[in-house]
Amino acid sequence: MIGKIIDYDHKGFGLVKEEEPVFLDGGVIEDLVDYKIINSGKIKRGQINKIIKPSIFRVKSPCPYSKECGGCPLMETDYKKELEWKREKVRNNLLRIGKIETEIEEILGMEDNLHYRNNMQFKIEDGKIGLYSGKTKKIVEIKKCIIQKEIGNDILKIFQKFAKTTNIKTLGIRTNYKNQAMVIMVADSPIKKLNNIINELLELNVVSIYENINKSLKYHYGQKFKHIYGQKSLEDKIFNIKYQLSPQSFFQVNPRQVENLYKKAIENLNLEKKDKVLDLYSGIGTISLSLADKVEEVLGVEQVEEAVEDARKNAEENQIKNARFISGKVENIIDKITEEKVYNKVILDPPRSGVEKTVLERLLKLEPEKISYISCNPSTQARDLKILKEKYKVEKVMPIDMFAHSSHVECIALIQRVKS
């Protein structure tokens, strides 16, 4: 069959539409391709046999693994076109899911869109170390990943030596602004040849090493981390505020864009010294601490207890006294915390699944003046904004490219109360 790719799906795979949509195993928008159907179920899947006429938006990939690796499906798409597609993705989600027409600001892209990630997880299987294929879920062996920092690739080289003899299943690498690294080695039983691996790692700027036992394939890491070398945490910073990161701490993976993201999210609230801010899904306190000097008080709410402990330590180390953090599921404790005190402005930064409906309903009752909603999933954000439309207007949305060459896009929505 022959068709022209007209769009990407949520994973970044090409979409052709003849009588009905067919999702292909790759391709670039406006590629004319010869393809065959490989799955004719409810969602049709296809495989590209050859590209008959390349798209004007097709570029040569700087990565030798991009055709197979599932990490960067848009690596062969011109970056300007990628940004344009992401902006339209946000607009379409708002219209289709949220029934919302609003200003979509220009997407903020990156000048240098390689070597930006500060957190990676590589898989080790059958003597190979790499990332999963976007097509087969088998490991694509990778010698060097051009999305992570160079120290990450130096660490990767060491583990390539041991890939055939170790029982490590997942290798986690975190890096920071000092070009230091934390290494997390994950296995389903105590790790073999551990001393040999550590000795080689110590020749690099690795300042923290952990062992993690994980018998489940559902998550990268198990619950228990064993500290085996160096510092227990890795220091990083946003603006001038320093943070201590434990192995499981959530921290934005793109340090080049994170300050732009937080700056815009905070600007949306038009903060004043009298304001009391509620930061829901606050993680290790990065947004709370970034805005604390502008307001009377900020309260962060986060489900992960370790993250709350980190947030409190970060507040203490940075001598920020008007930021508090409490642990619990937002949907379980929002009623109690908002009965005790009135918060007139709110930050939302939920996981990809979005905000629980009960939380949105509580916000509608509280009627804060402004809400700044950060999302890594425009679909669930649009769903949530549709509920908030009862009393709020979405003034504008700004997409920010935090995940260059992937199909993901971060969005910030400014939500203004219009009914009381």
Q: Which residues are catalytic?
A: 376
Distance CA 395, CA 94 (A): 12
3-state SS class at 62: coil
Q: Does 343 carry a binding-site annotation?
A: no
Q: How do strand 206-213 and strand 181-187 relate by DSSP bridges?
A: parallel
Residues 182, 245: contact at Cβ < 8 Å? yes
Residue 349, annotated ligand binder?
yes
21-27 long-range CB contacts below 8 Å, 24 or more apart?
22/46, 24/48, 25/134, 25/135, 26/67, 26/73, 26/135, 27/51
Residue 309 sits at the vertex; the CA angle it makes with 307 and 310, to the nearest 5 degrees, is 65
Sign of CA dihedral 406, 407, 408, 411: positive
326: tokens are 């409490």
- Map tokens 């606050």 to a residue: 282
- Opening angle at CA 221, ends 218 and 225, nearest 5: 150
Torsion, Cα of 121, 81, 393, 412 (10° steps): 30
Place of tokens 């690498």: 173
Instruction: Find out whether 76 and 55 touch, Cβ atoms under 8 Å.
Output: no
Number of Cβ within a 10 Å radius of residue 88 = 14
- CA dist 152 → 175, 176, 243 (Å): 7, 11, 20
Task: Please give the Cα distance from 75 to 114 (Å, whole number).
Answer: 10
Beta-bridge partner residues of 325: 300
Known binding residue 235? Answer is no
Give bridge partners of residue 3 from the DSSP assignment: 33
Q: Is 401 annotated as a binding residue?
A: no
Q: What CA–CA distance (Å, rounded) separates 109 from 129?
A: 31
CA angle 364, 378, 177 (to 5 degrees): 105
Tell me the pairing of strands 370-375 and 410-417: antiparallel
β-bridge mates for residue 69, sequence order: 133
For residues 14 and 22, give the distance between their C-alpha atoms in angstroms, rounded to a whole number.
8
- Pick out the residues of the known binding site for S-adenosyl-L-methionine: 252, 281, 302, 349
Annotated binding site: 252, 281, 302, 349
